[in-house]
Each structure stands twice: as C-alpha cells, then as structure tokens.
C-alpha cells in the first residue's frame, strides 16, 4: 500500500519503521494521517515478517498534536459523529511491540500517541507536553489516564493544568521515557532496541505485551489470573519446545512464530 502522510520502511529483519510525514505542520495528526497510520498498523499486524515496529516523526517534531485546523467550528455533535477516536483503536490494539522514537515536539495527541507505544526512546531535543489547556480543551486520546499512570498524579496534574513542556531528561526522570540519546541517533537506537526485541519468540512477545497491559486495566488478582493462563497457553507453541530444547542443547533457538 502507498501512503501520503506516512513513510513505511523495513530497516532490519523483523522490524518495520513508520515515519509520520507532515513536516510543514509539525506532523499534526490530521484525520488523513491517523487513517493511514491505522491502515499501516493493520498491514503490519498481519505481516508475519514483522515482529516489532518503530514509530517516529522527524528531528523537529514527533507530532505537535491533533491538527488544530480540524477543530475550528466543530461542535460536540460534530466530534461525536466524526468517529475521531476510532483510528486510535488500531494503535491501542496493535498486538506487536511498538517503540516510539521521539525527537522535537511531542505534544497533545502526539504525546498521547507516543504513550500508546510500549517503549519510548527520546532524542535530547524532545519536548513532551499536553498543551490542550491553552486551547480551552483538555487531552482526549488517553492523556489524563496514560500520563497519570506513567508519571503519577501530581506530575500529570502540573503538565496538563499548566500546559508546560518537559524536556527529555525530565521525562526520563519521571519514568515517561526509556532512553535519552543524542537527537541524531534516536531512530538508530530505537531500531536497535526493536531488532533486539524482534530476535525473541514472536508469540511470547505478543502475549507478554498483552499481559503487561492488563496491569493497567485490571485488579492485580485478575491480571495475575490472566498472566497464568497466558503462560500456560505458550506451552502449546512450537517456539516453547524450541526455546527449551535450544537452552538444554546449548544452541541458539530458531523461532518460527508458531
């Protein structure tokens, strides 16, 4: 498939790289861009050659948020009936590990998009924020929930209620970011991390991701129950037999994703 607002690359075996590509608008998340992102994720979810995905923007912006020009003149009913958030389901439900490589502005819906990912690698020039308050609105793609879970109530309150940005080092200290690297290396670092992840057993990766996400949605007892059942489930995979045999035979496992 070809896209106008994103670029799709295969930088390493098992790894796909999606670049948001509306540089003139700082990668603002227009409806067209989000539709293409959802389509690309659907394509990558179904592609057995892809084990892990990296999502990035460019050096100036990961994404500066929703496309504000699409908000002008819109009413509650317009927003409710435009199914704006349907496209976000593709990333929320994306089954494979996905890593955000963030440089520059990562604001509003852009920060919410990064927080939909499973890990965040930031360039030193990254600026994270939820500036919706300056538009007289508030985050609506998970910002009040995912940011609060990531950094805690008090920091989330300050970021969302003031609209102030936090830099990469502050975001790292808060636990929002996995690694901070020189800006020009952010994609390289994220792709290397993705390649390491992609060298593991694909089914175990997907199910471990699913289980980790339950920690945010369920009580601990319920989530432990899910974890145990998913753990048993992997015992019917060929990769579990291969992984255990390879360890015992002191060789490198050859994963099949089955």
Active site residues: 66, 109, 112, 132
Applying CB under 6 A, among 3, 8, 11, 25 the residue interacting with ligand CAA is 25
Q: Which of these ranges, 63-71, 116-124, 188-196, 219-227, lies near ligand CAA under the rule CB under 6 A?
A: 63-71
Residue 98 in contact with ligand CAA, rule: CB under 6 A: no
Residue 65 in contact with ligand CAA, rule: CB under 6 A: yes
- Which residue, 213, 208, 198, 254, is CA-closest to 231? 208
Report the residue number, 88 or 255, with the smaller CB distance to ligand CAA. Answer: 88
Least CB distance to ligand CAA at residue 215 (A): 24
| Calpha distance 152→101 (Å, rounded) | 22
What count of other Cβ atoms lies within 10 Å of the Cβ of residue 252?
8
With CB under 6 A as the rule, give the number of residues binding ligand CAA: 20
What is the x/- site pattern for ligand CAA, positions 99-118, by CB under 6 A?
------x-xxx--x------
Report the residue number, 7 or 135, with the smaller CB distance to ligand CAA. Answer: 135
Strands 15-20, 6-12: pairing is antiparallel
The DSSP secondary-structure symbol of 30 reads: -
At residue 93's C-alpha, the angle toward residues 87 and 227, to 5°, is 165
Residues 130-149 interacting with ligand CAA (rule: CB under 6 A): 131-132, 135, 139-141
User: End-to-end alpha-carbon separation of the chain, Å?
Assistant: 26
Applying CB under 6 A, among 16, 53, 64, 203 the residue interacting with ligand CAA is 64
Residues 212-241 interacting with ligand CAA (rule: CB under 6 A): none
At residue 128's C-alpha, the angle toward residues 122 and 132, to 5°, is 155
- Which residue, 53, 182, 195, 194, is CA-closest to 122? 182
Q: What dihedral do alpha carbons 28, 147, 45, 21 form, nearest 10°?
A: 20
Q: What's the token pair of residue 132?
A: 């919706």
Report the residue number, 98 or 107, with the smaller CB distance to ligand CAA. Answer: 107
Applying CB under 6 A, among 14, 53, 67, 121 the residue interacting with ligand CAA is 67
| Calpha distance 165→186 (Å, rounded) | 19
Report the residue number, 26 or 44, with the smaller CB distance to ligand CAA. Answer: 26
Residue 37 in contact with ligand CAA, rule: CB under 6 A: no
DSSP 3-state assignment of 56?
strand
Residue 128 in contact with ligand CAA, rule: CB under 6 A: no
Report the residue number, 64 or 126, with the smaller CB distance to ligand CAA. Answer: 64
Q: What's the token pair of residue 101?
A: 């490589």
Residue 202 in contact with ligand CAA, rule: CB under 6 A: no
Sign of the Cα torsion 246, 251, 257, 258 reads negative
Report the residue number, 78 or 210, with the smaller CB distance to ligand CAA. Answer: 78
| Residues binding ligand CAA (CB under 6 A) | 25-26, 28, 64-69, 105, 107-109, 112, 131-132, 135, 139-141
């Amino acid at each position: 498939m070809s896209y106008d607002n994103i670029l799709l690359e295969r930088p390493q075996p098992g790894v796909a790289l999606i670049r948001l590509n509306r540089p003139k608008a700082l990668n603002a998340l227009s409806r067209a861009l989000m539709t293409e992102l959802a389509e690309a994720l659907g394509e990558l979810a179904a592609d057995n050659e892809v084990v892990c995905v990296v999502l990035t923007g460019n050096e100036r912006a990961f994404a500066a948020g929703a496309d504000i020009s699409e908000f002008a003149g819109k009413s509650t009913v317009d927003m409710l009936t435009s199914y704006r958030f349907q496209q976000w389901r593709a990333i929320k439900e994306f089954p494979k590990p996905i890593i955000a490589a963030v440089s520059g502005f990562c604001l509003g819906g852009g920060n919410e998009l990064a927080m939909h990912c499973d890990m965040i690698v930031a360039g030193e020039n990254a600026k994270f924020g939820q500036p919706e308050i300056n538009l007289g609105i508030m985050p609506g793609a998970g910002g009040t929930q995912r940011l609060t879970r990531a950094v805690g109530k008090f920091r989330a309150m300050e970021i969302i209620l003031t609209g102030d940005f936090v830099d990469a080092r502050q975001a790292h200290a808060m636990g929002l970011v996995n690694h901070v690297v020189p800006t020009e290396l952010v994609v390289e670092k994220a792709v290397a991390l993705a390649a390491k992840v992609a060298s593991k057993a694909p089914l175990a990766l997907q199910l471990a991701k699913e289980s980790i996400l339950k920690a945010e949605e369920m009580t601990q007892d319920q989530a432990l129950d899910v974890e145990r059942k998913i753990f048993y489930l992997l015992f019917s995979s060929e990769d579990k037999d291969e992984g255990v045999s390879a360890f015992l035979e002191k060789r490198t496992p050859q994963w099949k994703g089955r």
